[in-house]
Structures are given as C-alpha cells and as structure tokens.
Structure 1
C-alpha cells in the first residue's frame, strides 16, 4: 500500500510540473512585442473606432455602408394628398408603410357617438405637416410610379407622427379599387 501511495504522489508531482511548464511557456509566448505597433498607432487600419480617424482613400479599402433611407423627397407648398396614408410628388405616388389612412370623405364616430369628418381633418393635417418639408425615405417599388415608403420627417419616423396626431390607423395600407 505504501508503494502505491508513493507512486500516486510521484504521478501527481509530474503532472503538476507539466502544467506549470505549459503555463510558463504560454506566458512567454503571449508577452507583447515591443516592435509590433500598438492599437493607438494602428487606428488608421482599424475599420471601427470611436476616435476621429483620418481616412486615406488610396491605401485603405473600407466597405461603405449605404444609408437605408436613400430617397430624399422635397414636398411642395401644397402636396397632393388623396388620403392621409399617401402622397404624390412629381407624378409618383407614395404609400406610407404601416399606416392605413383616412379617405377624403370618410366619416368617423368618436367614443361619445359624435360623427366627425375625420378624412378631411386628417388630409388637412397632413398637408400642414408636410408642406415645404424634406422627407428621407426608404422605398420599396411596386410599380414605376407607385412606391411603398418608410419615411423620416426631421429625424423622426413619419409613421409615429401620423399615428400620434390621429391622421391614420396602424395597419397595412389599403389600395381601393378604381
């Protein structure tokens, strides 16, 4: 029994020495190299940084990330709005994604039972909201002249602004048959 315990103790000693040796070797291998450039000096080669960085377009080949809101629309002083969920500019019809607008002659009933001309009120509000404004939009083309758009007005989503002001209902747009 004494010989067995001695053998086991020697085996544990050899194993501990081997682990200590591997640790010591790995510590020397991962020591920072003084000749290698540090992160501060190689910031020009790093694609993502929080520091202001000069870009050398001749030497560096970084991927350009496209803006998803790639269509800029300048609306006229009196935009053409047939329903509160869409508008027209230069013969192109834009349907606002995520809002079901009110038609011009649509009548709504409030919680107290009063009938209101919500369609006319929504269209007049849309005209006031969008007159002489720039919209940044992401467009999904349906046709050559019909586009589904997600837009921003002054950096805020247009959909949220329309819903907040009561100019439409949340949901998909509805294309009425002609």
Structure 2
C-alpha cells in the first residue's frame, strides 16, 4: 500500500472577520461561483436599498456608493470569468475590499445569531472570502485572467482561420 497523502495538511488556518477557514480558502478557483455570488449580492442591494432610503435608514449617497462598489465587484468578476467588459479600476480596490469585509462581518453576525452556518450561508462566506483572497497584494488573478483571455482569443483566431480554408 502506498502512503496516504493529506492535501489539506498543507493548508493553514486564517480568520476573516471572525470566520475561521483554511488558507488558501476552499473554492478559490470557483470563479463562476464568485461571479454568481457577486451578482446576487448586488441584486440584493438593488432590491433593498430604495426602501431603506425611503424609510430614512440609509442615505441616498451611501446607497449609491455601495451600489457602485458592488457593480465594480461584479464587473471585475465578469471580466475575470469571461473577458467581457473591463476589470474594475484599481482606484476601487480599497472600496471593494471594505465592502467584502463588511459583508463577511454581516455573515458572521448572522451565523452567530442563528447558532451556526447553514449550507447557503457557508457557501456565501466561502465565496466572499475567496473574492477577498484574490484582491490581496501579490495575487496574480488579473494577470492570469488576462493571459487566459489572450490564449482563448488566439485559439478562436486559429480556429476561424482553419475553417476559412
């Protein structure tokens, strides 16, 4: 019998806004899931904010600023996943990190209030943590996405040229 290798042993542990998880986080490269989560987070805010502004629970400027930040998060992940559009401007990096950190604090509060993580809440936490991980200094997510988009474009060009002959 060969030796059993525990691939999780190489992972460290890290606490993100009170949520302890593996480092690097699981689901790190589930890019489509992260895009879908970012879209759901934006949609939830677009749905909730008008009533909150009307009720005086949220300032209109604050609501618009947060919506703009989540639009940048969605745009970034759409570009990473598909190459469509443009990545979020670097000038929005601190705002995107702060918004995702705030989301993690909310997730941690919900888990505390509910006595633990439901499968849906755990998946949300995993995805938000992974999105934050990708925004940290030294990560090459955008550079690798750019290379992937270039390779895909070159392959399409080659396939079109082959079919044209």
- Larger strand proportion, structure 1 or 2? 1
RCO comparison, higher one (Cα < 8 Å, 6+): 2
Name which one, 1 or 2, has greater alpha-carbon Rg: 1
